[in-house]
Amino acid sequence: MPKKQKDIFPVIKIPKNATKRQIYAILKKEFTAADLQKFTVIEPMVPGYQVLAELEAIHENESRKRRKK
């Protein structure tokens, strides 16, 4: 996955007084399958129940700290 924002979003030249319709047409023409592929890469994920358990543990610890004060 690219790290720099320059690598993610290519610079596209738009005429100065372009309408929204013209801008969308230019962007649609410039967008390629390779651009889409950058955002559809399957990355390793953490199961939802694990995230929820970690959040509940953090919440419990913080609640305990607040009760002691």
pLDDT score for 34: 82
pLDDT score for 12: 83
pLDDT score for 3: 56
pLDDT score for 33: 85
> Any idea where the domains of the chain sit in the sequence?
5-68
CA dist., res. 30 & res. 49, Å (int)? 40
Q: What is the mean pLDDT of the segment spanning 33-62?
A: 89
On the question of pLDDT at 6 being above 60, the answer is no
pLDDT score for 68: 76
pLDDT score for 66: 84
Coil vs helix vs strand at 15 = coil
Taking the alpha carbons at both ends of the chain, their separation in whole angstroms is: 45
Percent of the chain with pLDDT over 70: 86
